Amino acid sequence: MASIPAEWSAVLAHLANLFPLVGMHMMRTSGLNAKPQLSFVLILGFYTYFIVTYFWELLFKAQIHYGQLASATLIYATYLFIVLSEILQIRLAQRLTEWRGEKWAKEMDYVYLILGAIGLALSTNRLSVVDDKLAIPEVVGPFIIGTALVVRGLKTRVEINEWNELPKRTTD
């Protein structure tokens, strides 16, 4: 029986851990100010440690496989989506609505477009026709594009769950 190469073991472990994390997150109530369960917060905390250490090592590798980069980007984007969704649900969405009004969700498109443009510019740094390359790790571009897609996904989630709406007044 073939064994899994060492460079893939961390990727597979993180991918496997995404399933219960995403499941727990999605099964939670989608209402605003939903308090996270202690078990979910603890799992998120432990997972934060593993994500940070894994990406720190990945950032300084001379060579990585395409599959590792694609998997790492998926892990990062999924984790970021979950964390930002939780932060929005707990209090941030309500504060943004009080500060910017209901339009703040539409304003997220500006963040999405800016991050997408930066990610695209950094990703073109790899092209062979570019002679004056930037002195940053080449893996940064896909992660910025992943962040842009997360922001766009969050905008959709905010609008579907109506997290950007002011509390409805009841008339007696």
| Per-residue confidence (pLDDT) for residue 33, from 0 to 100 | 47
Per the CB < 8 A criterion, the answer to whether 40 and 89 are in contact is no
Q: Where exactly are the structural domains of the chain?
A: 7-161
3-state secondary structure of 36: coil
Where do we find the tokens 């109506």? 162
Alpha-carbon span 60 to 78, nearest angstrom: 22
Show pLDDT as tens, one digit a residue, over the chain (172 residues). 567 666 667 667 767 777 777 777 776 655 544 566 666 777 777 778 877 877 777 777 778 878 778 888 888 898 899 888 888 888 888 899 999 989 999 999 999 999 999 998 888 877 777 777 777 777 788 889 999 999 999 999 999 888 888 777 666 5
Phi-psi bin for 33: left (phi > 0), alpha (psi -120 to 50), beta? left
Q: Say what the pTM is.
A: 0.79
| Per-residue confidence (pLDDT) for residue 103, from 0 to 100 | 92
Greatest distance between any 2 Cα atoms in the chain:
71
